[in-house]
Structures are given as structure tokens and as C-alpha cells.
Amino acid sequence: MHKTRPHAAALRKGRIYETGRIYLITCVTWQRRDVFSEWACGRLLVNVLMNERNRAGTLAYVVMPDHLHWLAQLCEGTSLDRLMRTVKSVSSHRINTKLNRTGRLWQPGYHDHALRREEDLIATARYMVANPLRAGLVNNIGDYPLWDAAWL
């Protein structure tokens, strides 16, 4: 059974998100179910990410079978919490409709890391999108359909 951390919500109290800052965001499916092994479900999630371009500029993403890594730059007037609530809510609705089911798609919360200026953005994106290779899902990243990066 999945247990939530009782103090996870408290970790976000007082967090400040900066417009223009680039964040590496990771969120995981409920009970780590392999929802995105079905390509069509992964594409529905990608479409949701692309539709949020008024709130966040997508620099790179990789949709793994049971989680998402997303490198995004926050736009003016957007909070990361609000952005992630929207992405998770809309993707849950669309994917549940596609699968003719109800219930949770995502685990509560997400992990975010604000990239610092000295961090190598392109190297971070390359490392992130190479996840399918490291997981043994493909032998060549070009064979994996659920990733993209602005520089590659």
C-alpha cells in the first residue's frame, strides 16, 4: 500500500518560485503504475505540457512508463504549484477518459529543482532525456517516442 509522507505538504510552505527561472520537475504516477507504457497516454500528457506554454516554456521532457521529467521555464504570473495542479488535473481527466476508468493518475506532490545559473542546462537536459537508455527501454534514444528537447 502507498503511504504518503505526513509532512510532505509542509516542505512547500514558504517556497518562492521565480518568473523566468528554469525548473527540473519530476512527478510520479499513483502507485508507480506504468500508465505511460501505452504510447497514446504518453502523448496525451505531452499535449497537456505543450498546451501550458502560456504558463511555462517547455525546454525538454521525457515521459517514462511511471513518471515524468520536465524542464520548464516559468512564465510571468505563474506559480509552479498552480502549473502542476493544472497539468496533473487535465492529464488525469484526459487519460482516465481514454482508458475508460476513474481514480488517481498521479501521486500527490512533485519534486522540483531550480537550476542555478552555473549549472549546465544542456547537460541537464541530455541527462534527463537519456533516462530511457539507462532504464533499458531502448538501445537508441531516437527509438523512444516520448521525449523532446529544444537543443537536440
pLDDT in tens, 54-78: 899 999 999 999 999 999 999 998 8
Domain 15-149 CATH (choose: 3.40.50.720, 3.30.70.1290, 3.30.830.10, 2.40.50.140): 3.30.70.1290
Per the CB < 8 A criterion, the answer to whether 67 and 53 are in contact is no
- Which residues, 6 or more positions from 78, have their beta carbon under 8 angstroms from its beta carbon? 17, 19, 55, 56
For the chain, percent of residues with pLDDT exceeding 70 = 89
If pLDDT is split at 50, 70 and 90, which confidence band does 96 have?
very high
Domain segments of the chain as ranges: 15-149
Task: Tell me the average pLDDT of the chain.
Answer: 90
pLDDT of residue 40 exceeding 60: yes
Lookup result for grid cell 508507480 = 32
